[in-house]
């Protein structure tokens, strides 16, 4: 499984293997627009710079606050007057390293499984003609509309019945069964692969499984990467599922851990308002996503843009 290789995400394209295929993901190359006057351009540039400050400032504030002693957190200086390494305190009061590793492994396992299972299902819907196909694919689309709340309680009761509440299984096992949105996305991609390629592979002695693995999967790499990073993000963001299923602090994921740190050390729960520690925890939760985004930027942005063109 090479879905994690960032090397194919260079600025030149989505990899040579897909160059022949009709583009599903939009190219970033732009057409020329009506040229703007220098004055107008300067005004737009100023607006963009001003707005960027609004969007970036909270991050700078956060990182700066995480490096200040308790009394200075709200002094609103960007460069701390006096530095304090609150990260050591954070590690002392909470098993943050464990939470971090839990989040990483649940994210990676969940994303790998969902990419693989969704691709398998999507390939079947794209390639095979079989009775019930349209009906079943309609059901796939219908489940995209279903709010999670409706299935949340019985799912919990099933896991409870299996004795697996307060384990991490409920957080990633559902990824074995594919996910409607990814199935939809990947099916689009598989359908764009010329059928001749598959017929040729069949003549060369491939069976359906090797054909899927050797022909379809490599060609769908850009879409597989989108699926992978979207699911990583979904897992990294999720608070509700861990909140429902996890009780032992040692099993927590980062969002749930951060929430308990907030409850314990914030002002609401009679805490000491140790915001400097909470800020350090927030940085630990925020920064890994920014790093992942830096590597997979193209996949994130194209995945989102593709979503918008389903309409």
Per-residue binder mask for another protein (CB under 8 A), 204-243, x = binder: ----x---x--------------------x--xx-xx--x
As a whole number of angstroms, the distance between CA 56 and CA 296 comes to: 20
- Compute the least distance from the CB of residue 15 to another protein, in Å: 20
CB closer to another protein out of 108 and 243: 243
Site membership for another protein, residue 30 (CB under 8 A)? yes
Instruction: Return the structure tokens found at 263.
Output: 């409850």
Residues 152-211 that bind another protein (CB under 8 A): 152-158, 160, 174, 176-178, 183, 208
**Strand intervals (E) in the chain:** none
Sign, CA dihedral 245-249-253-256, equals positive
As a whole number of angstroms, the distance between CA 9 and CA 67 comes to: 34
CB neighbours (10 Å) of residue 263? 13
The single-letter DSSP state of residue 125 is H
- Compute the least distance from the CB of residue 17 to another protein, in Å: 22
Per-residue binder mask for another protein (CB under 8 A), 35-74, x = binder: -x---xx--xx-xx--xx-xxxxxx-xx--x-------xx
Site membership for another protein, residue 17 (CB under 8 A)? no
Query: Rounded to whole angstroms, what are the CA distances from 306 to 137, 163, 300?
Result: 19, 40, 10
Residues 256-295 that bind another protein (CB under 8 A): 258-259, 262-264, 266, 268-270, 275, 278-279, 282, 285-286, 289-290, 292-293
Instruction: Single out the residue of 257, 247, 238 nearest to residue 167, CA to CA.
Output: 247
CB closer to another protein out of 8 and 253: 253
- Compute the least distance from the CB of residue 47 to another protein, in Å: 6
Question: Could you give the angle at the alpha carbon of 67 between the alpha carbons of 64 and 71, nearest 5°?
Answer: 95
The single-letter DSSP state of residue 268 is T
- Compute the least distance from the CB of residue 20 to another protein, in Å: 19
- Compute the least distance from the CB of residue 146 to another protein, in Å: 7
């Amino acid at each position: 499984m090479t879905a994690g290789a960032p090397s194919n995400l260079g600025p030149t394209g989505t990899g040579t293997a897909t160059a022949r295929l009709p583009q599903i993901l939009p190219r970033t190359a732009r057409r020329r627009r009506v040229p703007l006057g220098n004055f107008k351009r300067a005004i737009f540039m100023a607006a963009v710079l001003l707005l960027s400050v609004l969007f970036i400032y909270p991050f700078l504030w956060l990182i700066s606050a995480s490096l200040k002693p308790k009394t200075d957190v709200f002094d609103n200086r960007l460069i701390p007057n006096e530095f304090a390494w609150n990260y050591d305190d954070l590690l002392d009061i909470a098993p943050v390293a464990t939470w971090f590793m839990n989040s990483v492994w649940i994210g990676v396992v969940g994303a790998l499984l969902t990419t693989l299972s969704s691709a398998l299902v999507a390939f079947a819907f794209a390639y095979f003609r079989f009775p019930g196909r349209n009906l079943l694919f309609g059901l796939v689309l219908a489940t995209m509309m279903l709010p999670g709340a409706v299935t949340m309680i019985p799912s919990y009761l099933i896991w409870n019945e299996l004795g697996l509440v307060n384990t991490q299984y409920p957080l990633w096992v559902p990824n074995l069964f594919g996910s409607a949105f990814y199935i939809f996305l990947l099916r689009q991609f598989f359908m764009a692969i010329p059928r001749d390629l598959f017929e040729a592979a069949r003549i060369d002695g491939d069976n359906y499984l090797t054909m899927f693995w050797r022909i379809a999967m490599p060609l769908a790499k850009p879409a597989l990467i989108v699926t992978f990073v979207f699911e990583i993000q979904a897992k990294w963001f999720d608070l509700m599922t861990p909140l429902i299923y996890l009780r032992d602090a040692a099993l927590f994921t980062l969002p749930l851990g951060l929430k308990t740190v907030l409850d314990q050390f914030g002002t609401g729960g009679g805490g000491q308002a140790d915001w400097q520690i909470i800020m350090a925890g927030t940085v630990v939760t925020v920064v890994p996503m920014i790093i992942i985004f830096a590597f997979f930027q193209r996949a994130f942005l194209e995945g989102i843009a593709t979503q918008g063109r389903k309409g």
